[in-house]
Amino acid sequence: MPRMRWPEGFMWGTGASATQAEGAAPASDWWEWEQQGRAPVSGDGNGFARSFATDFGLYSGLGLRHHRMSVDWARLEPEEGRRDRSQVARYREILLAAADAGITPWLCLHHFTLPRWFARSGGFANEENRRGHWMRHVDFVADAFSDLVGGWQPVNEPNYYPRIAFGGGPFPPAVDDADTFGRVAEGIHLATAEAALRLRSTGRPVSSIYGLSVPVALDDSAETTVRVRNHLADNWTSWIGLVRDGVLRIRDRPPIDVPHLANVFDMIGFSYYRTTGVRRGEPVPHPSGAPLSAMGYAVSSAGLRLVLSKLREELEDTPLLVAEYGVGVHDDDLRARYLREGLAIVRTAIAEGADIRGFFHWTGVDNYEWMRGYDVPFGLITRDRTVRPSAAVLAAEALG
């Protein structure tokens, strides 16, 4: 039987972030975090700022002709109200180089790190910040770059950010407070949807990037039931209610009715890295016996099927985008196998009627992996720009 062809116009791409590819901006909260010894020093990231033209050429040669990158707010506006026009020019140079290489760029406006001045004034917990500074930034980026981009993925994993920064996680400011968590979760979900609404006015498509996994209960204890319920509430129910129904629900806080923000995305994009097993209320690698990644995840693509099934159940007929799929391992054969299995799951879902528009690999070139520094290789390409054999798995599909 001949292999199923991918849909016409299916997008093959890569994803990256500014801090991870360029290093921390001196005016960012993450740079300060590094200076305090709270995270490894990022330096110049993977060297993207000087090697972008080379990188785009490598991606294009592999058939990966879409690339999501972030423009760093702390570089564009290092002080409140002061725009750095040299950084605008630099990012425009990068976007022009992408076009020269046949790459369609997608822009992200917030990927975990913030200008210090914004963070110190309350960040997304402050409603005035969201309505004022954030939306002015969105307008500025739209005006400065919309002529050079193919699409937008405005905020990276808004369902994940509140937990890693305000729910006991290690990202700045590393606060563990339920009320602050709730206000930040409300703020960043609203900020994401409001940005999407504004960016759609540029005439370019807009996709989300939600970090998704479906929890698997491994026992029937009360602790596991609570953990699974909270996972679904924080990582699914909140944003689904917002983008489908125009109602944002964050844990036990009063719902927020925002009907004008329903259906603001052209595609629901998501990242997938692992399946979350829960035993006696604690997360564990799942399935048991699977090899572990450098970050301790079970290397298994099976959970991707669960995510796609739940998305189709909750958001029937909504176009989907695999906005990040990858694995941090030193064993490139394992990466190749993980890619083949994930692609097979996507292919099957399409054959069953899912409207999946593309597949973006995380990442193109090995980068800075936050608290793990440079110890976790996610790339199809090494930092010295050697293409790994696993890249051939995607190239074979992308180049047909």
3-state SS string for 148-209: HCCEECCEECCCCHHHHHHECCCCCCCCECHHHHHHHHHHHHHHHHHHHHHHHCCCCCEECE
Report the candidate in 77, 87, 63, 73 with the shortest Cα–Cα distance to residue 19.
73
Q: Which residues pair with 198 in a beta bridge?
A: none
How would you write the pLDDT of the chain (400 residues) with one tens digit per residue?
Answer: 346 689 999 999 999 999 999 999 999 999 999 999 999 999 999 999 999 999 999 999 999 999 999 999 999 999 999 999 999 999 999 999 999 999 999 999 999 999 999 999 999 999 999 999 999 999 999 999 999 999 999 999 999 999 999 999 999 999 999 999 999 999 999 999 999 999 999 999 999 999 999 999 999 999 999 999 999 999 999 999 999 999 999 999 999 999 999 999 999 999 999 998 999 999 999 999 999 999 999 999 999 999 999 999 999 989 999 999 999 999 999 999 999 999 999 999 999 999 999 999 999 999 999 999 999 999 999 999 999 999 999 999 999 8
For the CA atoms of the chain, what is the radius of gyration?
Answer: 20
Report the pLDDT value the prediction gives residue 276, as an integer from 0 to 100.
86
Instruction: List domains and CATH numbers for the chain.
Output: 11-398 (3.20.20.80)
Report the pLDDT value the prediction gives residue 10, as an integer from 0 to 100.
98
